[in-house]
Structure 1
Amino acid sequence: MINGTLAFTVKELHKKYRKAVSIAPNELSFVSSQACVDTYGFRNGKPEMSKEMPFFTSENSSVGGVISAERELHGILRKLMSRWFSEAALREQVPIVQGYTQLLINQLKEESKKGKTVDMVSWYNFFAFDVIGDLAFGEAFGRLTSSSYRPWVKMIFDSVKFNYFCQALNYYPSIEWMLPLFMPKPSHRKGPIIIK
């Protein structure tokens, strides 16, 4: 999990052992569509399947969201957000996404003229941040035009990696004391850069 290969390891286990495999002492992985319906689908009068919090959030985090919310709060949050994901709302967003897609294509054409290898992961990240910025905040972050990351974007990527590490530690509580040894430099030092 820590080195980022868990998905590949689990895939190999499923190839060998089929639809259900044990990946931890108290954790199973399923690849059948029925298991997805049984786990995440509507329960139709049956008791709700409780959520395993280490899967959804770090034990050290008190912040939840729609995914980790208990049934009552989940329903409220889902209702509040449903209008943003209606067919009409999604259709309104198509021209925005198409505009950034065209900008990405144009930028890649310019990059290809330089005769160097193009880092597609970075370009897709620039695209994703600009689209999400526009859709969520009404303004792009300008990553496609600047073709660079801002410091806070790097912090997001670092925090995702760190969260995987924290999630892995949930499986080994006896070594949780080691967490500070692996923590990156305090992000509050970068605060003024982000605010600007």
Structure 2
Amino acid sequence: MATFTMLTSVALISFDGVGIIWSLLVLTIIYYVGKMVWLALFSPLASYPGPSLRAWTKIPAIYTTISGHDHEIFTALHQKYGPVVRIAPKELSFASGSPAFQDIYGSRRPGQPKPFKPRNWYGKSSNGADSLITADDSTHHRQRKILSNSFSDKALKEQEPLLKRWAEKMAMKLRSSATDGAEVDLLKIYNCTAFDLMGDLTFAEDLNMLEEGEYSSWVKAIFSGVKL
């Protein structure tokens, strides 16, 4: 009798455990389905045009990104739906720079709602410290105030001789390749010039990439990280 009672108790406990697991699973499914319905039909982005499937799931957006055809797909979508297209449940694509660029990336004007910047959109740094991109409002304001003078109109104009010098270096590199009849990877030339220029601006020393026509290990690591 005692053995039967013990086995019955174990069975009930086992059944209760399975019941709890199934209940949690059903609730999870209901939650995600409800969230999908809300995002697709009732969220603030529901009024924007775009393919119906993209309003329900991010799978099409992920596929086009992985396949490398974003630029072609987005162009076709804008031609069909207009200057603003919903490309995912929580994402919009803008075909024009104004006023979208200022609204998204510019400074907040008095009385303007705070721009929406989900911090989970950006990956966390390895040391856990927030950068200018991932920082919260107060930290971002402090960091931006430190850097703002470097990007003022006056400061950028003062760098014009340096920019011209690197543009001339790039032109000489292209002219030399053309004289030799060598094939030129323009993307690599532009990237090498840009990173050498950034090195010159930041450290007063370039990375010697334009001269050698090859990426440094540091830049290769950056490109690999971005791709990942």
Look up the match of 2:144: 78
Q: Any idea what SS the aligned residue of 1:2 has?
A: helix
Q: Note the alpha carbon deviations across 1:23-82, whole angstroms, 9 max, x for none.
A: 112222334534444444414234423312344x12686453223322212211111011
Task: Say whether the 8 Å CA contact 1:20–1:30 is kept in structure 2.
Answer: yes
Distance 1:113 1:90 in 2: 34
The unaligned stretches of length 5 or more in structure 2 are 1-64
Query: In structure 2, do the counterparts of structure 1 residues 151 and 47 end up closer, same or farther at CA, with 3 Å as the change threshold?
Result: same
- One-letter code of the match for 1:14? H
- What is the 5 A alignment of 1:107-146? 107-146=173-212
The unaligned stretches of length 5 or more in structure 1 are 163-196
Q: Note the alpha carbon deviations across 1:128-184, whole angstroms, 9 max, x for none.
A: 11100000111111112222222222121111111xxxxxxxxxxxxxxxxxxxxxx
Query: In structure 2, do the counterparts of structure 1 residues 90 and 2 end up closer, same or farther at CA, with 3 Å as the change threshold?
Result: same
TM-score by length of structure 1 reads: 0.71
Distance 2:220 2:202 in 1: 19
Matching of residue 93 in structure 1 with residue 146 in structure 2: no
Distance 1:146 1:40 in 2: 36
Matching of residue 106 in structure 1 with residue 172 in structure 2: yes
Look up the match of 1:48: 114
Distance 1:40 1:129 in 2: 23
TM-score by length of structure 2 reads: 0.62
Higher RCO (Cα < 8 Å, 6 or more apart): 1
Q: Looking at CA atoms only, which structure, 1 or 2, has the larger radius of gyration?
A: 2
Look up the match of 1:180: none
Distance 2:156 2:103 in 1: 28
Aligned-residue CA RMSD (Å) = 2.2
